Chain A
Amino acid sequence: MGSFQSLPDDHQYRTLSQKTGFSLEQIAILHNRFKQLSQNEETLRRDDLKTIQDLESNPIRSQIIEAFFDRRNFQKDGVGSVEEIGFEEFLTVMSYFRAPAHHITEEQREEMRRAKLRFLFNMHDTDNDGTITLEEYRHVVEELLSRSGALGRETAKGIADAAMLEVASISVGPMAPDEFYEGITFEHFLKILKGIEIETTMHIHFLNMDTSVLCK
């Protein structure tokens, strides 16, 4: 957990830039945003994120916020979650949403894909046991559908169940009558989402100009 000087420090920016891949201007802008959200403090807390108005209507708001405080997203083998984060962690999480650069090798692309999918996986797998169990999946689907009005929990459950079965059939294939399907592991997760071009769907155009004055 590093804390930061309030003044943009070029040297620190540069290390961050190397680590996360953002450009210096983008880092400066995001830093401004960070300060705006944290009310000029050094660290960001969950409550600060909850105050964002636009986020209110997002069905998976809590998962998104949680993702920022999840240690697994900070470094490879982190466990558990933290209460507050500094700018470095904020930036690290943001870097999952960077667009792929134009000329990257196949390996890098694959790497990026895995990283993004890992992020999503972590969003589902709240108890951090390496598998997405049915309950966890159900929870996600319920949240997703919670804004669709007239549908009940039953619907969401049905959908989650069907989805799990799909995963089972696709990744494990025909199983012997005695086997059970424990849950979706990361490898299975990768398999089922092979169809989505995730490096292009899950990204944000981080702008080089400061639009934070224009948004709430």
Chain B
Amino acid sequence: MCVICIASLGYGANVDVPFKPTPASQSKLSPWSPMEETDPAPDPGETTQAVFTLNYSRIQIPFEITLWVLLASFAKIGFHVYHRITVWVPESCLLISIGLIVGGIMHSLHEKPPAVLTSNAFFLYMLPAIVLDSGYFMPTRPFFENFGTVLWFAVVGTLWNSIGIGISLFAVCQIEAFGVQDITLQENLLFASIISAVEPVAVLTVFEDISVHEQLYIVVFGECLFNDAVTVVLYNLFNHVAVMEVVEAGEVFLDIGRFFVVGLGGTLFGVLLGFVAAFTTRFTGKVREIEPLIIFLYSYLAYLIAELLAISSIMAIVICALTMKYYVEENVSQHSCTTIRHVIKMVGSVSETLIFFFLGVVTITTEHEWNWGYVLFTLLFALLWRGLGILVLTQIINPFRTIPFNFKDQFGLAYGTIVVIIFTVFIQGITIRPLLKLMNVRKTNRNLETINVEIHKRLMEHTVAGIEDLCGQWSHYYWKDKFLKFNNRIIRKILIRDNCPESSIVALYKKLELQNAMEILDQMSADISAAPSLISLHEERKNASKSRKKFLSSDVTNMHELLSKNMYKIRQRTVSYTNKHTLPNDMTAREILMRCHTSLRRSLRAGSFHGTNAAKMSQKFFSLPMGRSLSSGFPPGRLRHAGDGDTESETDYLSIRHPQRVSSKAVMPPRPSNTLKEVASSVNMVDEQNEEQRGYRRSNVSRSGHLTSHLPHGSSRNYSDEDCEGEEQQSRSSPHVWVQEPQNNSDVQHPLMRRPHWLPQKPHDK
């Protein structure tokens, strides 16, 4: 799109497409890169071997590319050092301006821009990277819910825009003052059709920088997607028309039919390849290393084949990524999952940076015949028509939408257009933030994900589906329900290894539990004096029976604290997942666990299972202060039974998936572990025995303990005081080694436990 618009810019100024591959050989780099020697021999005329040679021409192209990317990255780093700039000016603007500066330098030295930015390079390498990035991280559910709107805006909107702009520009051209009378109507229409394409990259960047309401984001993004298809068709249509003398109705219809082919073909291809990719990952259990590769290859393949068949490649790659993501993320290992996300983000980021950068450079260095009048009018009309178009279209479609766009949203939609890239990126980019603030465009509702909300969402969905069945009406839930059933029954069985039915509620719950655990870990390392004695725990249990079905407020307070801290963490997560420039950050929690885990492993290895050590840690872990019963501690593998291999718990641990988004996670299949299972089941037994005696607040925790039978078994015992008590009880009767240890509250100093958070502490009463 970028290139097309630049091309159109040139077109509007009666210049040819500026992207001819410039002769790259022997072209010198711009002055800031000092390596220009191509002559290796220091002594002309000598034929002896030189000691020190420079062979530039061989490495020239990769070298240049690397330097450019590096420069762009430095620029990017620089921006983020100065936070204040990025608040006002979106990053894309800054990149372009730097590009302009560099371009200016190069131009003044009469250098040519590097060969890398050919149209080919752009379309084949950079664009798919960016589109894959956007597509992979796009929230699927809102996308499909808004599908109708998106389609509507894309198709009809583009048509409206191009025709409107074309005609008005033509009218303008007739005015003699601008001296461009030679541009015919058809050429104008052609130009307009290009212009009215909305440029996804810049728009999304700007939108994300200011975190606009998700709905808006989705609609604009989807519109960009479909625009691709529409524009291609329109362009061809107008091309034919421009060439032909007489317009024939048949041709027009053919082209309209072509649109459907293009669009649907892209979608079909994407879906097909997505399924094939998912299917492939089903079998990669033993070859984890190539899993990310498979994802990339299939996506890129989708893109290339679509290009081959001249159907909408952008759609193909996005749909492929969407389809694939859901199934693949369940099949691949955690490492691979992270790798995939990282790499996609990285490559997308690099591409995007490069593109903006080069835009700046190329603008200056290529020759343009600026016709200010024409360009300005283009800008004006584009804005005008787009604004009108949005208004009108929105009016028409609002009754069909359940959450109608209000005027402010419409403004956001209209304004977000990138017409002539450089101008709009700059002007609109800079002004959009204050303007939107002024108008209070709806911001994303980054609310806490609570279990209640999730539960009730599911509840409502089921209710509505049920009522629909009852009254015999079909509606969107009907289809969704049907699709989900089909999905669960058939597709998942085929595409996913170790299929287990999932529930988003459970996934969310687990996510929150894990975060609870993180919280406790954090708190524990900070607040060492929090351990009560065994005696107090014992007393507590006796007293527990008096509060059966009520919550103790101390629990509530603690839960409240935990929740409020979790809220912060959860909120961080949802923010980061849609932020274009960062990865979804679920690494912090895992890092804490990893650190603890490795320390434990080392300690165990060093002491070759010294029971006390494990116990000490386990005791430390269990010994939560009174009233903290709800907090779930979660060091995986920490309380491993004697003799368990390190490796097993490690793999268990590493395969915990932190659900990034609730709807896409499955319950982890229980990993078989003989000894651990034993203990876990004994815990269950004990709990059930003691159920009646336990107070209500305990039972909460025990249940969560059992929840983790799906999680690494090592963790299930960490979950509650109650379990601890269960263990203690059992310890008197059973030979489970590690359980007995809590009674030996000895002060053996293990070398590793001299670390601050592992210091054995004097138990306190609370």
A residues bordering B, Cβ < 8 Å? 30, 33, 36-37, 49, 52, 54-55, 57-61, 63-64, 94, 97, 99, 102, 120, 123, 133-135, 140-141, 144-145, 147-152, 154-155, 157-159, 161-170, 172-182, 192-193, 195-198, 200-207, 211-212, 214-215
Contacts and interface: CB of A to CB of B under 8 A. Distances in A.
A155 B506 CA distance: 8
Contacts of B702: 154, 158
A54 B466 CA distance: 8
Contacts of B733: none
Given A144-B455, A181-B556, A182-B550, A165 B630 contact: yes
Given A195-B447, A196-B456, A214-B474, 9 more contacts: A64-B463, A94-B467, A102-B399, A134-B696, A152-B706, A157-B703, A175-B553, A192-B450, A201-B457
B559 interface: yes
Contacts of A152: 706
Contacts of B554: 177
A141 B509 CA distance: 12
A154 to B, nearest CB: 4
B465 A58 contact: yes
Interface stretch (B133-141, B193-201, B495-503, B597-605): B495-503
Given A52-B470, A150-B500, A205-B475, A177 B552 contact: yes
Interface in B596-640: 630
Given A145-B505, A150-B500, A64 B706 contact: no
Given A123-B463, A155-B506, A169 B455 contact: no
Interface in B548-567: 549-557, 559-560, 563-564
A198 B512 CA distance: 24
Contacts of B502: 148
Contacts of A64: 462-463, 466-467, 470
A212 B459 CA distance: 25
B459 A196 contact: no
Nearest to A174: B557
A58 B555 CA distance: 35
B501 A97 contact: no
A177 B706 CA distance: 28
B689 to A, nearest CB: 14
B403 A197 contact: yes
Given A168-B551, A169-B559, A177-B554, A158 B453 contact: no
Nearest to A147: B501
B682 to A, nearest CB: 15
B451 interface: yes
B413 interface: no
Contacts of B464: 97, 201-204
Nearest to B627: A177
A170 to B, nearest CB: 8
Contacts of B460: 120, 196, 198, 201-202
Contact of B452 (A155, A166, A180, A182): A166
Nearest to B398: A102
Interface string B709-723: 010000000000000
A214 B468 CA distance: 13
Contacts of A144: 455, 458-459, 462, 503, 505
A173 B559 CA distance: 10
Contacts of B403: 197, 200
Nearest to B451: A163
A148 B475 contact: no
B467 A161 contact: no
7 contacts: A99-B402, A141-B455, A149-B501, A154-B706, A161-B704, A195-B448, A202-B463
Contacts of B466: 55, 58, 60-61, 64
Contacts of B477: 204
Nearest to A36: B472
A155 B462 contact: no
Contact of A175 (B557, B630, B699, B707): B557
Contact of B470 (A49, A150, A159, A161): A49
Contacts of A195: 445, 447-448, 450, 453
B36 to A, nearest CB: 61
B25 interface: no
Contacts of A167: 452
B651 interface: no
Contacts of B465: 58
B462 A58 contact: yes
Contacts of A147: 501
A140 B459 contact: yes
Given A168-B556, A192-B452, A202-B460, A151 B503 contact: yes
Contacts of A201: 457, 460-461, 464
Contacts of A198: 460
B472 to A, nearest CB: 4
Contact of B473 (A58, A158, A181, A207): A207
Given A165-B700, A180-B552, A204-B468, A155 B474 contact: no
B474 A215 contact: yes
A158 B703 contact: yes
B547 interface: yes
A168 B552 CA distance: 11
Contacts of B500: 149-150
A65 to B, nearest CB: 8
B471 interface: yes
Q: Which 3 A-B pairs have the closest CB atoms?
A: A158-B703, A175-B553, A180-B550
Given A64-B466, A134-B696, A193 B472 contact: no
B555 A165 contact: yes
Interface in B538-597: 547, 549-557, 559-560, 563-564
Contact of B667 (A59, A150, A163, A177): A150
Given A155-B703, A159-B451, A148 B467 contact: no
B721 to A, nearest CB: 15
Contacts of B399: 102
Nearest to B504: A148
Interface string B421-451: 0000000000000000000000001011011
Contact of A52 (B402, B469, B501): B469
Given A150-B667, A177-B554, A60 B459 contact: yes
Given A155-B706, A161-B699, A162-B509, A196 B457 contact: yes
B549 A169 contact: no
B403, B471, B553, B706 pick with most chain A CB within 10 angstroms: B471
A47 to B, nearest CB: 14
Contacts of B512: 162
A175 B700 contact: no
Contacts of A133: 549
A123 B467 CA distance: 13
Contacts of A140: 455, 459
A200 B703 contact: no
B485 interface: yes
B672 interface: no
B703 A161 contact: yes
Nearest to B706: A154
A166 B451 contact: yes
